[in-house]
Amino acid sequence: MKTDLDILAVATQLVAEWGEDAPRLSKVRLVELIAANNLRAAAFWRDVMRTSEELLEKADPAAALPASEPGAALN
C-alpha cells in the first residue's frame, strides 16, 4: 500500500492543532465536498479523516473509544 505523504501531512497537522476534533473537522470538510460534487477532493478528505483517527489511536488508544463504550470516560 502506498502512503500518500500529502494526506499524512495534513492529518498530522490537524491532529497536532485540533487533537480529538481532527476527524470531526475532516468529516465536515468531506461532507461539504460531497455536497459540492467534488469527489476527488472528497476522497482526499476521507483519507485524511481515516489517517487522523489512526494517529489518534496510536497516540492514545483510550481516546479513540466512542463515549458509549465502557471505560471511555476514564481519561
Residue 18 has pLDDT above 70, yes or no: yes
Helices (H) and strands (E) in the chain, counts: 3, 0
Residues 59, 64: Cα–Cα separation, whole Å: 9
pTM for the model stands at 0.74
Residue 7 has pLDDT above 90, yes or no: yes
Cell triple for 66: 466512542
Per-residue pLDDT band at 3 (split at 50, 70, 90): low
Closest CA to 45 of 6, 3, 2: 6
pLDDT tens-place string over residues 43-72: 999 999 999 999 999 987 665 445 544 444
